[in-house]
A and B are shown apart, each in its own frame.
Chain A
């Protein structure tokens, strides 16, 4: 239940004047008419996101009416400086907020919406998928300018309002003028002439402020954006690769960000950089590393079909934890204090096998013609959890066939005690595969066949602790085994005293398998050593068992389209000419299967290599493999990360199947149209999957040996300079003369040499006469040497800087 606010009821007068907050219409206190204490709590938590009363304009005028007299009462009694500062403060800080409420009130056609939904789905390998889906919609910007009541402002600022800005300004001006005329009236009536200057000053201030904020709104002109934080891997084989959840919500480990901008092509990079930095701050993650041009790429057609100025970047090594979840939750109106998000008990959701929080933002605000929705923000959290089976040893005792029974409280350790009051709808779905029912039919022939009554009537293999409010069946168009049944539960029926705690209990062992993408893609590294290697992408037909036996003859000339999008960092130097294709264990010419390929080779330290490829494989293909050879590059010493010896990541490749769409054909129902989750499921999205992240060991220097390096360098230098000095300084003739002179003087030395000569049994030798006069002081060779050294030194100087 939302809080009812009676139209036309005036708010109580704001009490304090000088404070900015009291004048902020977002913070205006609407007294709780229902007297519900809980609602008051919500109010405090979701500060500033209340549904706007339609009587906004009235309120705003009321404020103007009340403020002006108060202001002038003060100004008459107090002296000028105080008044001046107060006025300035007031004018600079308050008008924007004050006027905004007015502008919002000008047109209030549509309202902002918030929906919360949760999809629970048992997975074939005894795990449970929980998919939280929060959807906020802000109506087209014409109606409410730059301020929102439910929609998070931080997100809305990422989106551009090109058409609305001038409009908002003019509507603002209308109010500003109104306000100023009143001031003028008051002031002339009080015959204080110099207040006119103040007013003119204030007017200038208002206009300047208006233009400043105009610049701010334009900071990121994001048309479409998706940001995901993922921990763990989606198991395509067991958890399915065809349904909408695996196509949309299975993401590569770490952070993935892509955004479409609404700016000219030459400005996209600059906008991307701004966006990464602000998202980095918003989500406490190192998204700002995507700023560097070596980290992102601009796929043309393989990643998204819709053309646009797209940038794509991933951070495979980003660790995801609560520090990323908290800011994400802050975007929800009720945070995790009420509604479905209250289930998000941190230890239990991070204990799971897969955890992916995602934020998907679209805006068509820039397209004036379309008025359906302004900004829509889709926040999803997909977790795969292992329900606590009653005893872990049951695996050992042969009862492994049983699916574990679970309930919300056993999975999350919490229960839902009612919906988020601000949400339009709050629904929990339980999705079960239809094949379960068919199998049960096989198991017991006399079971009831009506699907709707079967699940919860107690006559079948499972039992739900609550009766569903709605049962939605997937239309069984083609005879795919992946079709499913959805049980819906309205959360609003439950409250604190009677919390919502859905439980599922299995009576018989059941088996089913999730629907697979047409080809299962895996990627791995080939080769060993620090020199070179190869990347291989291997496609395997998901239903190889079937196709090998029967369906071969069915498909003649049928083609299976596969899009491959692969980004490789620059230090992995991929030789794209070495692309090889093996189809069904035979090497094939590339031209036979590669329909379209676009490659942008990497530039050292500038941009990553990117490959987009459209493959057309025969439908009955059993396996196909792509290999690309690469050389491992060398990094500069300061480019090594702190954990250089771990190796370097190659981000996931994106494999999509343009001719396959992950669509759930639900029997149309009124309730489905309202539910954003189900309408999302019914959208036609192509089947998409991500491959593994690869780890490439590169050569790394031994960082722990700076001492050795210093020693060796010093030795080399000492040797170099020593010999250089010798070459430059030494004169053999001089030395000999000195030697002789020294010998004549030192009697001790003569004695010693004699003694030595005696010891060695040789006659004392006479010193030779200097055989030749010393060579000309500056010989040719010496000059040459000096020049050589000088050239070396210059070259060294030149190249080292």
Chain B
């Protein structure tokens, strides 16, 4: 940015005349050359985005206290065999039986209490995430979920707590293993094995400084729901249980009583909620069967709601231990379709070539990156951006982030489905040692995670782009907006275009309140945006309808609303001179403000939004003018405008993205509805952004394009 500005200054020395202050002069220069500035800045912004994989740094463990891998693992084969015995006991139960779930919980609790740890059951009612327009950005609220449900829809988590022998119990580390007590699943049994092996070891060790909580989350209503409701009860318990009273009563008849029976025989299994201290970190452990893998892999999921990330150190520790100690292959999710794009490979080759040339000129310049690395990095980065932009957590760890607990999901997938017990044991041993190592590292922490980054994008498990780097691209993209807005405003308010000549071009002639009518228009459209984003709440109340019907109703209602607005506010007078410029100027200002605000809430959304909105806003010009002009330049502009305004329409954009990723095979109108529903269900700020910034601005751009000047 600074370079560009300097260039501008050098290129255009202002004429000699009574000069305002330098900073104002600089501003005037930039405004007067806003076209050049915006082209250069936008290009630079996009280029900076594509350069990010090259600028990524290697991760390093920032917090010294973690000391990953400095202690040798204490996990023995005894723990494994005992864990396998548990898994066998769990799977051998007849899954068809009605009370198999209860029986499984009982077996698990028996094993846990034999370890000498505290065991408790936690019952919860899974609730659907309901759209509530006023609950965006509010903290997780316990009152939300207290609705009457039918008795059958209760889940029961099993919680084991190891009290650290010599510690004061102020802090705790949480291990989560989702497990469906109703179903037999070999991979879930494997994850229970790993969890139990670690847990039984931890119940014997003397080095614990923090309590350990093992949450076996009942995943029959979804992994996230069970973890989230446990966390809610942990942090925001409700003492006056007036609404859950009947819930209790139907519990009594259902399964808790059966569980209690056993608790009477001298073990301290209580249905009361058990707590440990403040949570330091949480690990969610899952085992999945993925076919066709070359080796055992570990996938790390870190994105929580609204693009929040756990501290980078947590990922670093996992990555370090998995790669350097247990020999697992660590991977982060990436867009596979990016790998198929030819132009990315070409771009990678080009960058590689440039890097090589630069390296040959001066060996100090080592910014080259091999093409496959670049493409992989881009794919991962794209996924990282997309996941953060969606604002939907990628796993049960997201629930922890809502309570400021650093958490990640570790998904371990074995190479093959192990039938040989020895191989299986070896797999469990490696995974359990990884968990043990991570727990031990976190246990070493004196303070909570604070050393490393919270704002970053991953380009590979061991590489990241920090906020200081990725902000540059966004800043470059957004920078031209105020300049263009100012220059448009100046243009629109020129006293007389023919009389003076270019000499007085820069004399800002203030005619106040001329922008007010434009602002009124913009405001009206934004109010319409609010209306549109609130509509789904009412539409979703309509019973017995498909998503497709929902989206059609929504679409027609929105269009109807827009038409009504247009008819009401339509001005009957002849369009004035400079009207569309004013409108565009105000629109651009609003987009600028909206993008900046969004970049604070969720950077990734703002970044992706800026990629679409900035060109759309900057290019928008009444088609009539361009058609009148009829030159190549204006033709090009028309083409660009039409294309961008087509793509920028949210549903179209969604389907285009989906098509690029998965192929334009089967498209259903309802999909867009479901996608948006998931956004609001997870309280994603992206929904607000789309409804209140993106859509109104798109409409305004369209309005400018079709302006009759």
Give A contacts to B, CB under 8 Å. 125-126, 231-233, 235, 237-238, 253-254, 316, 350-353, 355, 392-393, 395-396, 400, 511, 513, 522, 524-530, 536, 540, 545, 580, 582, 585-587, 625, 627, 643-647, 649, 692-697, 700, 702, 704, 726, 732, 736, 739, 743, 753, 756-757, 762, 765, 767-768, 771
Q: Are A233 and B163 in contact (CB under 8 A)?
A: yes
**Least CB distance, B223 to chain A, in whole angstroms:** 21
Beta-carbon contact of A126 and B168 below 8 Å: no
Chain B residues with Cβ under 8 A from A694's Cβ?
Answer: 170, 277-278
A350: chain B residues within 8 A (beta carbon): 166
Would you call the interface of chain B mostly helix, strand, loop, or mixed?
A: loop
Please name all residues of chain B whose beta carbon is closer than 8 Å to the beta carbon of A530 when the two chains form the complex.
404
Docked-complex contact A585 and B272, CB < 8 angstroms: no
Q: Are A753 and B16 in contact, with the CB atoms below 8 A?
A: yes
**A585 and B239 in contact (CB under 8 A), knowing A232-B167, A353-B165, A765-B15?**
yes
User: Does the CB pair B114–A395 fall under 8 Å?
Assistant: yes
A528 x B165 contact (CB < 8 A): no
If A645-B448, A768-B17 touch, does A586 touch B167 (CB 8 Å cutoff)? no
Verify B78–A771 contact, CB threshold 8 A: no
User: Given A353-B166, A695-B278, are A392 and B18 neighbors across the interface (CB < 8 Å)?
Assistant: no
Q: Which residue of A is nearest B85, CB measured?
A: A396
Choice from B82, B236, B242, B448 contacting A586 with Cβ under 8 Å: B242
Smallest CB–CB gap between B540 and chain A, Å?
Answer: 29
Instruction: Decide if B78 touches A513 in the complex (CB within 8 Å).
Output: no
Q: Which residues of A contact B206 (CB under 8 A)?
A: 351
A768 touching B116, Cβ below 8 Å: no
In Å, the complex CA distance between A527 and B402 comes to 11
How many of chain B's residues have a CB under 8 angstroms from any CB in A? Answer: 49
**A738 → B minimal CB distance (Å):** 13
CA of A536 to CA of B240 in the docked complex: distance in angstroms? 13
Give the chain A neighbours of B168 by CB distance below 8 A. Answer: 232-233, 253-254, 316, 692-693
Pair A233/B240 contact, Cβ less than 8 Å = no
Please give, as numbers and ranges, the residues of chain A lying within 8 Å of B268 by CB-CB distance. 237-238
- Known contacts: A232-B165, A762-B502. The answer to whether A545 contacts B264 by CB under 8 A is yes
Chain A interface, >50% SS class: mixed
Contact residues of B between 409 and 450, Cβ < 8 Å to A:
446-448, 450
Tell whether, in the assembled complex, residue B116 and residue A646 are in contact, meaning their CB atoms are under 8 Å apart. Answer: no
Give me 19 other A-B pairs in contact (C-beta within 8 A), A355-B166, A693-B169 excluded: A125-B116, A126-B116, A232-B168, A253-B168, A253-B169, A352-B166, A393-B78, A396-B82, A585-B239, A585-B241, A644-B447, A692-B168, A692-B170, A692-B277, A695-B277, A695-B278, A696-B278, A700-B450, A762-B503
Q: Which residues of A contact B402 (CB under 8 A)?
A: 528
Cβ of A765: which chain B residues have Cβ within 8 Å of it? Answer: 15-17, 503
Task: List CB contacts (< 8 Å) of B488-533 with chain A.
Answer: 502-503
Q: Is there a chain A Cβ closer than 8 Å to B266's Cβ?
A: yes
Give A768 to B15 CA distance when docked, in angstroms.
12
B476 nearest CB across to chain A (Å): 22
Q: Is the CB of A645 within 8 A of B447?
A: yes
Which of B78, B163, B448 lies in contact with A396, CB distance below 8 A?
B78
Question: Which residue from chain B places its CB closest to the CB of A767 in the assembled complex?
Answer: B16
Partner of A529, one of B114, B163, B204, B404: B404
| CB of B262 to closest CB in A, whole Å | 13
| Contacts known (A351-B206, A582-B239); A647 close to B169, Cβ less than 8 A | no
Complex interface bits, B384-414 against A, C-beta within 8 A gives 1, otherwise 0? 0000000000000000001110000000000
Q: Is the CB of B266 within 8 A of A513?
A: yes
Given contacts A396-B78, A692-B277, A762-B502, contact A528 B404 (CB under 8 A): yes
> Which residues of A sit under 8 angstroms from B242, Cβ to Cβ?
585-586
Instruction: Assess the B241–A529 pair: CB atoms within 8 A.
Output: no
Query: How far is it, in angstroms, between the C-alpha of A524 and the C-alpha of B204 when the chains are bound?
Result: 26
How many A-B contacts if CB must be within 8 Å? 126
Interface string of B55-84 (1 = CB under 8 A from A): 000000000000000000000001001100
Whether B340 sits at the interface, judged by CB under 8 Å, is no
Q: Which 6 A-B pairs have the closest CB atoms?
A: A645-B447, A582-B239, A253-B168, A695-B170, A528-B403, A585-B241
Inside 8 A of B626's CB, which chain A residues have their CB? Answer: none
* Given known A695-B277, A765-B17, contact A392–B240 (CB-CB < 8 A): no
Question: What are the residues of chain B within 8 A of A585 when measuring CB–CB?
Answer: 239-242, 245
A400 touches B114 (CB 8 A): yes
Does the CB pair B448–A697 fall under 8 Å? Answer: yes
Residues from chain A with a CB closer than 8 A to the CB of B166 are 231-232, 350, 352-353, 355
Q: How far is the CA of A400 from the CA of B266 in the complex (A)?
A: 13
With CB as the reference atom, state the residue of chain B lying closest to A702: B450
Residues of A within 8 A of B447 (CB): 643-646
B349 within 8 A of A: no
Residues of B near A233 (CB, < 8 A) are 163, 167-169
A693 touches B170 (CB 8 A): yes
State the CA gap A757–B13 with chains docked (Å).
Answer: 10
Chain B: minimal CB distance from A261 (Å): 29
Q: A756 with B403: in contact, given A529-B139, A587-B239, A692-B169 (CB under 8 Å)?
A: no
- Check A736–B18 contact: CB distance below 8 A: yes
Cα A530 to Cα B403 in complex, Å, equals 10
Contact (Cβ within 8 A) A528 B235:
yes
Q: Contacts A645-B447, A695-B170, A695-B278: A582 and B235 contacting too (C-beta < 8 A)? A: no
B5 within 8 A of A: no
Collect the chain B residues with CB atoms within 8 Å of residue A528's CB: 139-140, 235, 402-404
Tell me whether A695 and B171 are in contact (CB under 8 A): yes
Asked whether any CB of chain A lies closer than 8 Å to the CB of B463, the reply is no
| Shortest Cβ distance from residue B504 to the other chain A in the assembled complex, whole angstroms | 12
Instruction: Determine if B183 is an interface residue (Cβ-Cβ < 8 Å).
Output: no
Which of A395, A647, A743, A753 interacts with B115 by CB under 8 Å? A395
